[in-house]
Homo-oligomer: A and B are copies of this chain.
């Protein structure tokens, strides 16, 4: 068993090396990259659908879309006219840096050179555990959590919420119909992650979306790029 654990560490080290290489590629091209992660069905694709119209007016945008088997999410996002590169991971439960490197290669072949883009959004496989440990070269990890999942989830999946640079609580329109303790959820998030901004949003009512878009704008402001 000891050797297997070592190999796991080596796999993570190899991924860190590739992620660092991806990050240099992004920085050289002047592209900011965000990695969106959550449980299945927390609403990553729906959140992107809700803001892509606005984002496309502000930025030259591309998307890498991770899914185990289908291209259903990629098809939803292509309707906005942005380049969407689907990566089907097969049995793998997360995107890793090598897969995203492959996605960059495809993007440049099928759409345009990387320096023609301002923002690359990576939608990870729906999984609140594994993607948190595999950096892909992103400038920020964005963790989504649906209000339907319960206030205990930050404590039960701490690796994800500790790693997050930004936390988006989704589906707040359902709050009236749920037994969720909002204050406890906020407190549990702060126990695990004292500093990441937390946005409570609903794509149904549009609540909170403008604030989250303002956070994205701040990440892409020239000063943020220079001093990051």
Give the top 10 A-B pairs by smallest Cβ distance, nearest first.
A41-B149, A93-B129, A148-B148, A39-B40, A39-B39, A40-B128, A41-B150, A93-B130, A72-B152, A70-B155
Q: Would you call A156 and B91 a contact (CB within 8 A)?
A: no
With A146-B41, A148-B174, A149-B40 in contact, is A70–B156 under 8 Å at CB? yes
Give the distance to chain B from A2, nearest Cβ to Cβ, in Å: 14
Give the distance to chain B from A15, nearest Cβ to Cβ, in Å: 12
Give the distance to chain B from A160, nearest Cβ to Cβ, in Å: 9
CA distance in complex: A72, B91 (Å): 30
Residues in B neighbouring A130, C-beta threshold 8 A? 93, 127, 129-130
Residues in B neighbouring A133, C-beta threshold 8 A? 91
With A148-B171, A149-B40 in contact, is A126–B91 under 8 Å at CB? no
Residues in B neighbouring A153, C-beta threshold 8 A? 40-41
Interface flag for A221 (CB, 8 Å)? no
With A39-B40, A177-B177 in contact, is A157–B7 under 8 Å at CB? no
Interface flag for A135 (CB, 8 Å)? no
| Residue in chain B with minimal CB distance to A178 | B174
Q: Would you call B69 and A126 a contact (CB within 8 A)?
A: no
Interface flag for A68 (CB, 8 Å)? yes
Residues in B neighbouring A146, C-beta threshold 8 A? 41, 148
CA distance in complex: A7, B155 (Å): 32
Give the distance to chain B from A36, nearest Cβ to Cβ, in Å: 15
| Residue in chain B with minimal CB distance to A204 | B179
With beta carbons under 8 angstroms apart, the residue of B4, B7, B155, B174 that contacts A174 is: B174
Interface flag for A125 (CB, 8 Å)? yes
A-B contact pairs, 14 of them (CB 8 A): A40-B128, A40-B153, A41-B149, A67-B156, A70-B152, A70-B156, A73-B156, A91-B133, A93-B93, A93-B127, A127-B130, A146-B148, A148-B171, A148-B174
